[in-house]
Amino acid sequence: MDTLTNWRERLISKTSRPTLVTTYRYWLWLALLTVVLINGMYQYSTQWRNGLYVTDMRDRISWGLYITAFVFFIGISHAGTLISAILRASKASWRAPITRIAEFITAVALIVGASFVLIDMGRPERILNVYLFGRWQSPIMWDVMAITTYLTASIIYLYAPMIPDLALYRDRLSKKVGTVRAFLYRTLALDWRGTPSQLKLLGKAITIMMLIIIPIAVSVHTVVSWIFSMTLRVGWNSSIFGVLFVAGAIFSGVATLILVMAILRRIYQWEEYLTEKHFVYLGYLLAAFGAFMIYVNINEYLTEGFKLEEAGEFAFRQLFIEDFAVMFWFYIIGGLLGPVVLMLIPKTRTIGGVVAAAILVDIAMFLERYFIVVTGLRVPLMPYEPASYAPTFAEWSIFAAGIALFCLLITIAIKIFPMFAVWEMTEEHEAVFAGADRAQESMATSGAPNAAAFIDGAPDQRQRTEGDAP
Amino acid sequence: MSHLRVPLGTWIRTLLIAIAAVVMTAAPVFAAEIEIAVGAPERVSVGQDVEIKALLHQDGAPLEGAEVAVTYQAAIAGESGRVELATAVTDATGTAIMSFQQRADENGEMQVVYLGPDDDPVKPHTFTIAVEAGGEQLYQQQTGVRIPFVNGTLLIVVISGVWFLIALAAIYLVRVGMAGRITDRPSSEDGSIWISVALAAAAIVTAVGMVIVFVRAPVSNTHITDPDGYDRTIVNYLDVSYPYEGFGLDDDSDARTGDPLVDGSVLYFQYACAACHGLTGQGAVVGGALVDEIGSLSSFADDV
């Protein structure tokens, strides 16, 4: 057990390092993000003053980069759901080191994604009308409902499993950090002592959230797809859009998780916890979803192309051989086929290979969102020339600010919150020491077992905890 | 120069003769004037069938066979003019009855105008009718399949269930905090359960709020209160006289191709007619058919 204790101490030390150590590079990074964010805010202020005229969106192509960003960020928010909830429900023990990061990505991506809806509005102050005059016949209203539900559920699902770790920070770091963070840990830890009753209650909360967050997440991106597919518009009028969007969301969510993991691993030397195994497993997920996406795309375009109605010809031309062909084929070959190939070849089945695949996927999925939004609106409904759309500097600036905000929130979160689920990881590690039988017992479905063991000042609760763990 | 002086009596006689000549010449004209009297309700509500009675007299006698119309002043696409609501021909008593359904939530200045067959100008009769806004929604999708139990109520149940579980999880967190409180410790070291209380409260308030929004959603198959008593959303009815100016055309050559069908299409979209009246002008959920009004996209282009 001495080895286990040492391992746990090292883990706590490594986890809390970002909280305790701030290098000049951190401040530089923060400054860079702030500059990008301020530029975006300035550009938005011009849009606020002058209206959407500062964008290239007009009456015919009325959605562009903002809605693309909205769909993209909502998509990557699915990282937390898949990795955390689905793997937790399926008792995949390797998930432990990556769940917290994935859950943070979910919450942050949702906040950023939802803000793009407001940005896309010419009169954002009218958002209240959605609540005052909401009509449930409108897919926009379904979207508001789904995202509100998902955001609330995600925050609770992020917070609940973090309580034991926040208690750990409260006990270990309160005297090493400033008063604000000490207060924060004390407040957020909810007087966690790891008592049997607390464990039982926390287990119930986590189990409830784990089970409901999966259908909520699926519904969210399905509803996002319905904004398009409930429209009688060539290119959007599809019954398979829900599946395409959900699969694409998980696909890009996993890719973003891989990228964030790779960056944090390198900066904070977390190689011991974020191992090659984690990257390769996530790479397999990428490949599986890449293959599934290829299947869904064939299904979508072949059935439409075989019947090919009159207006469909224009949609197919612009996508396959004309204006958007480069984007489309990069998406198919680079973004969908590429990850599958990279994971099939043993030599590229490495951290580098997985990261390369993740970069391809994120770029491809962004492009996919873009051409879905723009090409659909570009198909003329009446006999006139198709409109063109090219995002303006203001749009690119605001989009960049969205990415900067995403990075900034993650960067700040790293500084405050434990990025590893210490108690879950210790439990997993402990299971290796204690043997298979014990492992089976302690990785019980509730997800809130022996967290009491890791609360300082409560060593005597260890036995009680083990006895009461669900 | 005194021999040129005309006596006052001569002046008076001449003037009287002149007046008599004018009166005699113009008498038939005055006698032929057509007078229009109108009987109309003072107040109507949207959706109500309105009957306008016009009584025409000529030379004091009822005028039979005269065509009259009831119109109101409107503006669309930067063009203003009078919209004709109904026409009728007078009977032997000089009476014409014109009926229409009140669609606009305001009418502005209404007139009964004489359309002939006499070409002489006839002063129209101007009047107003007060319109009570709201009332019946005139255009609703008529198609639909009602599937038992698959409706808005089911959706409310699902949403409520999800939010009940979210709130339940948050309440468990409140209890986690309460279970960890140690009363004999100094208060400065105490944590707080406010964050979990706030989460639970937010979840409950949002859940209740969503259901309220849902229940209040107007006039739909998911609306669970009485639709007839519902009057919250302003519905724009056909014929409402909003002076829509549109954005104009950046390049008006799009609407001057020479092909009236193409020009009409461009204008029809440019002025957002299609938004309410459907892509072909044959009606949609919000606005009814315009085919009779505009004839065709070609004639629409000519008109605009």
For residue A302, give both structure tokens. Answer: 């072949």
Task: Write the pLDDT tens digit of every residue in B249-284.
Answer: 667 777 788 887 778 878 887 777 777 777 767 666
In whole angstroms, give the CA distance from residue B177 to residue A266: 36
Block residue for tokens 């759309």:
A389
- What pLDDT is recorded for position B284? 65
Orientation of helix A196-229 relative to helix B152-179, angle to 10°: 150
For residue B37, give both structure tokens. Answer: 């009297």
The answer to whether residue A172 scores a pLDDT higher than 80 is: yes
In whole angstroms, give the CA distance from residue A208 to residue B171: 12
- What pLDDT is recorded for position A363? 96
Burial of B266 (0-12, 13-18, 19+ CB in 10 A): buried
Whether A195 sits inside 8 A of B179 (CB atoms) is yes
Question: How high is the mean pLDDT of chain A?
Answer: 87
Cα–Cα nearest to A277, from A341, A351, A342: A351
Block residue for tokens 């008109």:
B303
DSSP for residue B125: E
Block residue for tokens 């192509």:
A61
Which residues of chain B neighbour A187 with C-beta distances below 8 Å? 191-192, 194-195
Pairing of strands B79-89, B67-76: antiparallel
For residue B205, give both structure tokens. Answer: 């308030």
Q: In degrees rounded to 5, what are phi and psi of residue B281? A: 75, 10
The answer to whether residue A25 scores a pLDDT higher than 90 is: yes
The CA-atom distances, in angstroms, between B230 and each of A98, A251, B215 are: 52, 45, 12
Residue B69 bridge partners (DSSP): B87, B113
In whole angstroms, give the CA distance from residue A288 to residue A346: 16
Which residues of chain A neighbour B190 with C-beta distances below 8 Å? 186, 191
In whole angstroms, give the CA distance from residue A61 to residue A386: 9
Q: Which residue of A has its CA nearest to B152?
A: A136
Which residues of chain A neighbour B170 with C-beta distances below 8 Å? 156, 205
Q: Evaluate whether B156 touches B211 at the Cβ level (below 8 Å).
A: yes
Report percent pLDDT > 90 for chain B. 13
DSSP code string of A148-217: HHHHHHHHHHHHGGGHHHHHHHHHHHTTTS-HHHHHHHHHHTTT----HHHHHHHHHHHHHHHHHHHHHH
Whether B179 sits inside 8 A of A216 (CB atoms) is no
Which residues of chain A neighbour B191 with C-beta distances below 8 Å? 170, 186-187, 189-192
Cα–Cα nearest to A355, from A264, A249, A221: A264
Sign, CA torsion A264/A266/A267/A268: positive
The answer to whether residue A133 scores a pLDDT higher than 90 is: no
The answer to whether residue A369 scores a pLDDT higher than 80 is: yes
Residues with Cβ within 8 Å of A10's Cβ and at least 6 positions away in sequence, in order, are A272
Confidence of residue B221 (pLDDT cuts 50, 70, 90): very low
In whole angstroms, give the CA distance from residue B286 to residue B139: 6
Query: Is the pLDDT higher at A168 or at A464?
Result: A168
For residue A63, give both structure tokens. Answer: 């959605």
Q: Which residue of B has its CA nearest to A194?
A: B180
Supply the Cα-derived Rg of chain A in whole angstroms. Answer: 24
Chain-centroid distance of CA A316 in Å reads 31
Question: How high is the mean pLDDT of chain B?
Answer: 73
- What pLDDT is recorded for position A69? 97
Block residue for tokens 């900066």:
A267
Burial of B7 (0-12, 13-18, 19+ CB in 10 A): exposed
Burial of B106 (0-12, 13-18, 19+ CB in 10 A): middle
Outline where DSSP puts E strands in chain B. 34-39, 43-45, 49-58, 61-62, 67-76, 79-89, 95-101, 110-116, 125-127, 130-132
Residues with Cβ within 8 Å of B196's Cβ and at least 6 positions away in sequence, in order, are A190, B170, B173, B174, B176, B177
Q: Evaluate whether A212 touches B165 at the Cβ level (below 8 Å).
A: yes
Residue type, A368: E
Could you tell me if B266 lies within 8 Å of chain A, comparing CB atoms? yes
Domains defined for chain A, CATH in brackets: 4-459 (1.20.1630.10)
The answer to whether residue B235 scores a pLDDT higher than 70 is: no
The answer to whether residue A441 scores a pLDDT higher than 60 is: no
**Maximum Cα–Cα distance across chain A:** 79
- C-alpha dihedral (A171, A176, A177, A179), degrees to nearest 10: 80
Among candidates B163, B173, B262 on the partner chain, residue whose Cβ is nearest the Cβ of A160: B173
In whole angstroms, give the CA distance from residue A133 to residue A441: 52
In total, the C-beta contacts within 8 angstroms joining chain A to chain B are: 132
Mutate to test the interface with A, among B155, B176, B184, B247 (most CBs of A within 10 A): B176
Chain-centroid distance of CA B206 in Å reads 36
Query: Is the pLDDT higher at A70 or at A461?
Result: A70
Task: Write the pLDDT tens digit of every residue in B79-131.
Answer: 566 778 889 999 999 999 999 888 776 766 889 998 876 566 788 899 988 88
For residue A111, give both structure tokens. Answer: 């906040």
Chain-centroid distance of CA A133 in Å reads 31
pTM, two decimal places: 0.73
Cα–Cα nearest to B203, from B159, B245, B240, B237: B159
The Cβ-side half-sphere exposure at B108, using a 13 Å CA radius, reads 17
Cα–Cα nearest to B173, from A182, A183, A203, A456: A203
Q: Evaluate whether A161 touches B173 at the Cβ level (below 8 Å).
A: no
The answer to whether residue A417 scores a pLDDT higher than 90 is: yes
For residue A8, give both structure tokens. Answer: 């746990």
Whether B166 sits inside 8 A of A149 (CB atoms) is yes
Among candidates A187, A202, A384 on the partner chain, residue whose Cβ is nearest the Cβ of B191: A187
Q: In degrees rounded to 5, what are phi and psi of residue B203? A: -65, -45
Q: Evaluate whether B177 touches B194 at the Cβ level (below 8 Å).
A: no
Block residue for tokens 């998911």:
B222
Whether A131 sits inside 8 A of B213 (CB atoms) is yes
In whole angstroms, give the CA distance from residue B128 to residue B106: 10
The answer to whether residue A77 scores a pLDDT higher than 60 is: yes
- A183: closest CA of chain B, how far (Å): 8
- What pLDDT is recorded for position A229? 92
Could you tell me if B111 lies within 8 Å of chain A, comparing CB atoms? no
Residue type, A126: R
In whole angstroms, give the CA distance from residue A260 to residue A102: 9
Instruction: Tell me the CA end-to-end span of chain A in Å, nearest whole number.
Output: 23
